[in-house]
Amino acid sequence: MRGDFVAGLPLLRDALKEMREGGSAPGYPAFLAFFARGLGLAGQVTEGLAAIDQALDLSERHEERWSLPEVLRNKGELLLLGGSGGAAIAAEDWFRQALDWAHRDGTLSYELRAAFSLGRLRRDQARSSEAHDLVASVYRRFTEGFETADLQTAKRLVDELNDAAPA
């Protein structure tokens, strides 16, 4: 999370190996998604995509869907990091799936993360009004926790989009 991939990725890799060898399936897809995102941010997007696909497969196989919105969202983020042709369209689809799953499951924090991922994409596509409406609609549903990193990120994005709106 601090950007120290040289130290962090081997630690995560070892922890995942221990979980796998110990037969600890619960939570594994969530940790694998976190690892995949780290790989992508470290410039190892192909490896990150392989890890996120494994997380999706395990989530389905073990019917462990509590973290599925975050796994889906990270798939979209990795596609954007890869920057291949059509990445934005594919990422938008993954973000929408994450939003749908989170909303259906009532996991507001995962819904917020998916909303700001999709909101950033829309902002970058010059669709600021849509981005604002999406992120603000999820952000407004929170009643506490405004000091958390996710809510602060969402608030900054909403404010930025407000400032960018035409008068």
pLDDT, averaged per 10 consecutive residues of the chain (167 residues), comes to 67 72 71 89 94 92 88 97 93 98 96 97 95 97 96 95 74
What single letter denotes the amino acid at residue 85?
Answer: G
Q: What is the pLDDT of residue 26?
A: 60
Q: What is the pLDDT of residue 54?
A: 92
**End-to-end CA separation in angstroms for the chain:** 37
* pTM for the full predicted model: 0.87
CA-closest candidate to residue 108, choices 148, 138, 83:
138
Within 10 angstroms of residue 120's Cβ, the number of other Cβ atoms is 19
Angle in degrees, CA 86, 89, 94, rounded to 5: 120
| Distance separating alpha carbons of residues 105 and 112, to the nearest angstrom | 13
Q: What is the pLDDT of residue 96?
A: 98
The HSE-up count of residue 162 (CA atoms within 13 Å, CB side) is 8
127, with CB counted inside 10 A (0-12, 13-18, 19+), is middle
